[in-house]
Structure 1
Amino acid sequence: MFSIATAPAKQSVGETISVLSNRLSSSTLLEDRRAAILGLRSFAKEYPATVASGALRSLIGSLSSDGEDVDTVKVVLETLIMLFNPNEDSPEASEEIALWLADEFTQRLENITLLLDFLETGDFYSRLYSLQLLSAILSARTDRTEECIFTAPLGISRLVAILDDSREAVRNEAITLLTYLTPSSTEIQKLVAFESAFERLFKIIEEEGSVAEGGRVIEDCLIFLANLLRLNAQNQTLFRESLCTAQLARLLKDVGDAEKQDREMAVWALAQRNRNIYALLAVIRLFLVPGASGTAQNQAEFWRHGVLFHALQLAFNNSFEKEIRAEALSTCAAIIRGNATLQENFAQLRVPSPTEDDSRPTTSGEDEKNSSNGAQLEVYVIDGLLDLTLSIHAPQFFDVRMAACDCLKAYFFNHEMVRLHFLQRAIDGHTSGADETANVLTTLLRSPTTSPASDPYRNWFASVIMFHLVNENPKAKALVMAVTEGDEENGEEVVTSIQTIAAHLMSSVHRGDDERIVIGYLMLLLCWLFEDLDGVNDFLGEGSNLQGLIQLVVKNASSEVHIQGLAALLLGVLYEFSTKDSPIPRKKLHEILMNRMGRDRYVNKINTLRAFTPLRDFEVIPQKRDPLADEKLPSVYFDSSFVDFFKDNYSRLLRAIDRDPGMEISVVTNGVQQGISRELVDSLRAELGEKDRTVREAQERISTLENALGQERAEHRKSKETSTSDLAKAKAAQNSLAQKHDEVLRSLTQKNDETVRSFTQKNDAALRSLAQKHDEALRQARIEQQKIKSELQRQAEEAQKTAEADAVRAQRRSDAQMADLRATISRLEVDLMKANKSKTQELQAAQEKHKKELAAAEAVTSDTKKTVQTLEGRLVAADIGAAELRETLEAAEEDARQLRDKLLATEKSAKES
Structure 2
Amino acid sequence: MFSSISTAPAKQSVSDTISVLSGRLSSATLLEDRRAAILGLRSFAKDFPATVASGALRSLIGSLSNDGEDVDTVKVVLETLLMLFNPNQDSPEASDEIVLWLADEFTQRQDNITLLLDFLEEADFYSRLYSLQLLTAILSARAERTEDAAVQTPVKAEALVTCADIIKGNTTLQESFAQLQVPSPLSQPSSGARDGGGPDRDSEVYVIDGLLDLTLAVSANDMFDVRIAACDCLKAYFFDHAEIRLHFLKRAIEGYKTGLDETANVLAVLLRPNNDDAIVNPYRPWFAAIITFHLLFNNPEAKRLAMAVTEGDAEDGEEIVTSIQSVAAHLLSGLGREQDSRVATGYLILLLGWMFEDLEAVNDFLAEGSNIQGLIQVVVRPGPADEIIQGLCVMILGEIYEFSTKDSPIPRASLHAILLSRLGKEKFIDRLSRLRTNPFMRDFEVLPQKLDPSSPGRLPEVFFDITFVDFFKDNYSRLLRAIDREPGLEIPVSANGVQQGISRDLVDSLRAQLKEKSKALDELHMASTTLERQLGQEQADHRKSRENAAVDLAKVNATIDAVQRDHAAELDKLRQQLASEQAEHARQLKQATQSKEVELEAGRRKLVSIQEDCKRQIEYTKKTSEAELEKLRRKMASLGDDHEKQLSKASKAAEVEVDRLKRRADAEAADLRATISRLEVDLMKTNKNKAQELHTLQEEHAAQLALTQQQSLAKLEKQIDLAEESASKCARLEKELDETRQDGLKIAANLAEITDAKQAIQTELDDLLMVFADLEDKVSKYKARLRKIGQEVSDGEDEESEDESEDGQGQSDDDGESEDEAGNGQVTASRKTA
TM-score (norm 1): 0.46
The reply to whether residue 470 of structure 1 matches residue 470 of structure 2 is no
CA distance in 1, matches of 2:285, 2:471: 20
Quote the Cα distance in structure 2 between the aligned partners of 1:595 and 1:193.
Answer: 77
Q: Distance in 2 between matches of 1:226 and 1:532?
A: 51
Shift of 1:331: 2.1
Residues 194 and 175 (structure 1), Cα distance of their counterparts in 2 relative to 1, 3 Å cut: same
Match of 1:224 among 47, 50, 72: 72
In structure 2, how many angstroms separate the alpha carbons of the residues matched to 1:610 and 1:211? 52
Which ranges of structure 2 fall in alignment gaps of 5 or more residues?
190-198, 509-834
When residues 654 and 181 of structure 1 are mapped into structure 2, their CA distance, relative to the original with a 3 A threshold, is farther
Structure 2 match to 1:558: 384
Q: What is residue 671 of structure 1 aligned with on the other side? A: 497
- Residues in 2 aligned to 1:628 and 1:67: alpha-carbon distance in whole angstroms: 63
Q: 1:595 to 1:408 in 2, by over 3 A?
A: same
Match for residue 183 of structure 2 among 320, 334, 352: 352
CA deviation after TM superposition for structure 1 residue 227, in Å: 4.9
SS in 2 for 1:463: helix
Query: Could you give the per-residue CA deviations for residues 92-136 of structure 1, whole angstroms, max 9, x where no partner exists?
Result: xxxxxxxxxxxxxxxxxxxxxxxxx99x999xxxxxxxxxxxxxx
* Cα-to-partner distance string for 1:251-307 (whole Å, 9 max, x where unaligned): 997699446xxx8xxxxxx5x874553126649953889xxxxx9xx9999989968
Describe the SS at the equivalent of 2:152: coil
Gap change, CA 1:375 and 1:341, over 3 Å in 2: closer
Contact in 2 for aligned 1:218/1:276 (Cα 8 Å): no
- For the residues of structure 2 that align with 1:406 and 1:496, how far apart are their CA atoms? 28
For 2:499, what is the secondary structure of its paired residue?
Answer: strand
Q: Distance in 1 between matches of 2:234 and 2:263?
A: 16
Q: 1:172 to 1:510 in 2, by over 3 A?
A: farther
User: Does 2:31 correspond to 1:176?
Assistant: yes
Measure, in 1, the Cα distance between the counterparts of 2:474 and 2:100: 43
Distance 1:623 1:249 in 2: 39
Q: How far apart are the structure 1 equivalents of 2:63 and 2:352?
A: 50
Asked whether the equivalents of residues 303 and 354 of structure 2 are also in contact (C-alpha less than 8 Å), the reply is: yes
Which SS does the other structure have where 1:397 is aligned? helix
Q: Using the alignment, how far apart are the partners of 1:248 and 1:570 within structure 2?
A: 62
Asked whether the equivalents of residues 205 and 214 of structure 1 are also in contact (C-alpha less than 8 Å), the reply is no
Q: Where does residue 417 of structure 2 map in the other structure?
A: 591
- Kindly indicate whether residue 501 of structure 2 is the aligned counterpart of residue 637 of structure 1: no
Aligned partner letter, 1:558: P
Q: What amino acid does structure 2 have at the position aligned with 1:327? A: E
In structure 2, what is the equivalent of residue 601 of structure 1? 427
Q: 1:300 to 1:121 in 2, by over 3 A?
A: closer
Alpha-carbon distance, 1:321 to partner = 3.2
Q: Distance between the aligned counterparts of 1:589 and 1:417, measured in 2?
A: 37
Letter in 1 for 2:159: A
Rounded to whole Å, the distance in 2 between the matches of 1:405 and 1:300 is 23
Tell me by how many angstroms 1:588 deviates.
1.1
Query: CA 1:255/1:393 → structure 2, altered by over 3 Å: closer, same or farther?
Result: farther
Alignment match, 1:334: 165
Q: 1:382 maps to what in 2?
A: 208
Mapped partners of 1:667, 1:623: distance in 2: 34
Map 1:717-756; keep pairs closer than 5 Å: none
Give the aligned partner of residue 442 of structure 2. 616
The alpha-carbon distance between structure 1 residues 626 and 201, as it changes in their structure 2 partners (threshold 3 A), is: farther
> Separation in 2 of the partners of 1:177 and 1:328?
29
**Structure 1 counterpart of 2:244, from 407, 410, 418:** 418
Structure of higher RCO (CA pairs closer than 8 Å, 6+ residues apart): 2
Within-5 A mapping of 1:382-461: 382-449=208-275, 451=277, 453-461=279-287
Distance 1:553 1:309 in 2: 60
- The question of whether the paired residues in 1 share the 8 Å contact of 2:307 and 2:322 is answered with yes
- Deviations 1:132-166, CA, capped at 9 Å, x for gaps: xxxxxxxxxxxxxxxxxxxxxxxxxx9xx987634
Residue of structure 2 aligned with 1:319, choices 125, 143, 152: 152
CA contact (8 A) 1:505 1:518 kept: yes
Alpha-carbon distance change, 663 to 218 in structure 1, aligned in 2, over 3 angstroms: same
* Displacement after TM superposition at 1:453 (Å): 2.2
1:659/1:343 Cα in 2 relative to 1: closer, same or farther (>3 Å)? same
1:672–1:375 distance in 2 versus 1, CA, 3 Å:
closer
Q: What is the CA–CA distance in structure 1 between the aligned matches of 2:504 and 2:24, rounded to whole Å?
A: 74
Deviation of 1:172 (Å) = 6.6
Q: Which residue of 2 aligns with 1:581?
A: 407
Query: What's the TM-score once normalised by structure 2's chain length?
Result: 0.50
CA distance in structure 2 between the aligned counterparts of 1:583 and 1:397, rounded to whole angstroms: 44
Query: How much has 1:630 moved relative to structure 2?
Result: 3.0
SS where residue 280 of structure 2 aligns? Answer: coil
Give the aligned residue type for 1:570: I
**Partner in structure 2 of residue 151 of structure 1:** none
Deviation digits for residues 686-739 of structure 1, max 9, x if unmatched?
A: xxxxxxxxxxxxxxxxxxxxxxxxxxxxxxxxxxxxxxxxxxxxxxxxxxxxxx
How far apart are residue 628 of structure 1 and its match? Answer: 3.4
Quote the offset at 1:204 in angstroms. Answer: 6.5
Deviation at 1:448, TM superposition (A): 4.0
- Return the match for 1:279 from 98, 119, 126: 119
Residue 346 of structure 2 is aligned to residue 520 of structure 1 = yes
Contact 2:398/2:480 (8 A) holds in 1: yes
Q: CA deviation at 1:248?
A: 15
Residue in 2 that maps onto 1:684: none
CA contact (8 A) 2:64 2:77 kept: no
User: Given the superposition, is the C-alpha separation of residues 166 and 288 from structure 1 closer, same or farther in structure 2, using an over 3 Å criterion?
Assistant: closer
Q: CA deviation at 1:615?
A: 1.4
CA contact 1:210–1:218 (8 Å) conserved in 2: no
- Alpha-carbon offset, residue 609 of structure 1: 0.6
Letter in 2 for 1:429: G
Change (3 A) 1:121 1:435: same
* Equivalent residue runs for 1:477-496 within 5 Å: 477-496=303-322
- Relative distance call for 1:404 and 1:217 in structure 2 (3 A) is closer
Local SS of the residue matching 1:518: helix
Q: Which amino acid aligns with 2:318?
A: E
Q: Unaligned regions of 5+ residues in structure 1, if any?
A: 1-29, 31-63, 69-116, 123-157, 183-188, 264-269, 290-294, 359-370, 682-913
Contact 2:416-2:487 at 8 Å conserved across structures: yes
- Cα distance, 1:643–1:212 mapped onto 2, change above 3 Å: farther
Aligned partner of residue 422 in structure 1, secondary structure:
helix
* Letter of the structure 2 residue corresponding to residue 642 of structure 1: F
The verdict on how the C-alpha distance between 1:630 and 1:242 changes in structure 2, with shifts beyond 3 A counting, is farther
Radius of gyration: which is bigger? 2
Q: Contact 2:441–2:469 at 8 Å: present in 1 too?
A: yes
RMSD of aligned C-alpha atoms?
5.1
Q: Which position in structure 1 is the counterpart of 2:668?
A: none
How far residue 587 of structure 1 moved from its aligned partner, in angstroms, is: 1.2
Look up the match of 2:451. Answer: 625
Over 3 Å counting, the alpha-carbon distance change for 1:174 and 1:604 in structure 2 is: same
Aligned mates of 2:402, 2:41 — CA distance in 1: 56
2 CA distance for matches of 1:411 and 1:214? 35
User: In structure 1, the residue corresponding to 2:234 is in which secondary structure?
Assistant: helix
Distance across 1 between alignment mates of 2:447 and 2:377: 31
The Cα of 1:558 is off from its aligned counterpart by 3.5
Q: Percent identity?
A: 45
Q: CA deviation at 1:670?
A: 3.5
Kindly provide the amino acid, as one letter, of the partner of residue 464 in structure 1. I
Whether the 8 Å CA contact 1:467–1:524 is kept in 2: the answer is yes
Given that residues 226 and 286 in structure 1 are in contact (C-alpha distance below 8 angstroms), is that contact kept between their aligned partners in structure 2?
no
Measure, in 1, the Cα distance between the counterparts of 2:102 and 2:298.
37
Question: 2:750 maps to which residue?
Answer: none
How many pairs were matched up?
A: 488
